[in-house]
Amino acid sequence: LFEEETKPGLEGFEKGTLTTTGAVAVDTGIFTGRSPKDKYIVLDEKTKDTVWWTSETAKNDNKPMNQATWQSLKDLVTNQLSRKRLFVVDGFCGASEHDRIAVRIVTEVAWQAHFVKNMFIRPTEEQLKNFEPDFVVMNGSKVTNPNWKEQGLNSENFVAFNLTERI
């Protein structure tokens, strides 16, 4: 991943730069962390009573999204990631084998795969033979949504979860 994230020709937030200490630094642009106002969860039969939704009396960042908007966003990301060289990282979230979840991250940006590889628990070769993710993250960080206003979203940027589909 190191060679991929620091190779010549990369631009913008794709580009990793080797620091004097040997670490790779990246410029993430305007997003230096999460984007809580752009986070949405599909409201469906499974989530309607199991997610703590934002309301006038209980403000939080769990905003509902309908199935049609979800499908539109999923299609945008799928199209962005199609026919490209991708980085796929399988890992575990959570140290306890009993409680952790298996996660697969798919991204087109090398340093994002490198970050995930460093942050999540790496499966052993034996665990990878039968790895079945509990959740898949389709990282479409280069995608913007041109229909965000019509869909009632906060901006052209989005983080969308479908807990029923586990994506």
> For the segment 116-150, what is each residue's pLDDT rounded down to a tens digit?
999 999 999 999 999 999 999 999 998 999 999 99
The CATH class, in words, for 35-161 is alpha beta
pTM passes above 0.95? no
Ranges of each domain in the chain: 35-161
Average pLDDT over residues 40-68: 95
Give the span between the Cα atoms of 144 and 23, in whole angstroms: 29
Q: What are phi and psi of 33, to 5 degrees?
A: -165, -145
Structure confidence by residue, pLDDT tens digits, 2-46: 788 888 888 877 888 888 998 888 877 777 677 889 999 999 999
